Amino acid sequence: MKKNTTLLLASALLLIAVQSLGQTPDTKTATTILNAVNTKYKSYGSVKASFNMKTEGSTNKITETQTGILFVKGNKYKLELTNQEITCDNVNIWTFLKDANEVQVNSYEPDEDAINPTQIFTIYEKNFLCGYIEEQTINSKIYQVIDMTPNDKTKSYFKVRLLIDKATKTIYSAKIFDKNGSRYTYEIVKFTPNPTLVDTYFTFNAKDHPGIEVVDLR
């Protein structure tokens, strides 16, 4: 779950959510807000997002905190975390385990029901029920709260809650509610539109890592 949750950021982070207890979700307003975010995102050729990820246990205590950076260009992405890097050129996907100096190579076979970082601003378009909940003010900024629940109830999470900056139409945070009681919050620290990213940036070069073990699972 943790690996899949990390990708969901990411993803973004970078993303998603629905249904607040005792409230009826406003799907029309949610769609309007998300369409505006989507339109802005699609105007960029590439993006870079630095984020914090916080993990909370069922007691609401933070059990882990880590930082990461997400790079996206078209259908390609690279996710840099403290102990691993995930690189995808839309043909192959490399998972580099830094501590073990090992990289696992797989053919990239996107699952229609899965979420990957290239979909962080468009995932709401299918397989989710979206609902606008309310506005919240944090540090003098106004955020629009949108919840999304997956149509597939067999998913390991039951809700993702987005906070969207009302002024900039950008995602500030995404909180994933797991069925086991854990919560995963991705908070975007810095968003950079249109960074210069050559296509080779989204391939993993084992030669850059002397002594690395390559596990080719293709």
Q: What is the CATH number for 90?
A: 2.50.20.10
What is the model's pLDDT at position 6?
52
Rounded Cα distance between 181 and 121, Å, is: 26
What is the model's pLDDT at position 118?
64
What is the model's pLDDT at position 117?
65
Partner residues linked to 105 by β-bridges: 94, 216
Whether residue 211 lies inside any domain: the answer is no
Could you identify the residue written with the tokens 């468009």?
122
Whether residue 214 lies inside any domain: the answer is no
Whether residue 215 lies inside any domain: the answer is no
DSSP string, 76-142: EEEEEESSEEEEE-SSEEEEEETTTTEEEEEE----TT---GGGTTTGGGSSEEEEEEEEEEETTEE
Whether residue 161 lies inside any domain: the answer is yes
What is the model's pLDDT at position 113?
54
Whether residue 116 lies inside any domain: the answer is yes
Contact 163, 172 (CB under 8 A): yes
Whether residue 218 lies inside any domain: the answer is no
What is the model's pLDDT at position 111?
66
Whether residue 213 lies inside any domain: the answer is no
Low-confidence ranges of the chain (pLDDT < 70): 1-25, 111-126
Selection from 118, 106, 110, 89 nearest residue 199 by Cα: 89
Alpha helices by DSSP H, the chain: 2-10, 27-42
Type of residue numbered 153: K
Rounded Cα distance between 51 and 103, Å, is: 23
What is the model's pLDDT at position 21?
34
What's the total number of domains in the chain?
1
What is the model's pLDDT at position 14?
45
Range of the domain at 27: 2-205
Whether residue 171 lies inside any domain: the answer is yes
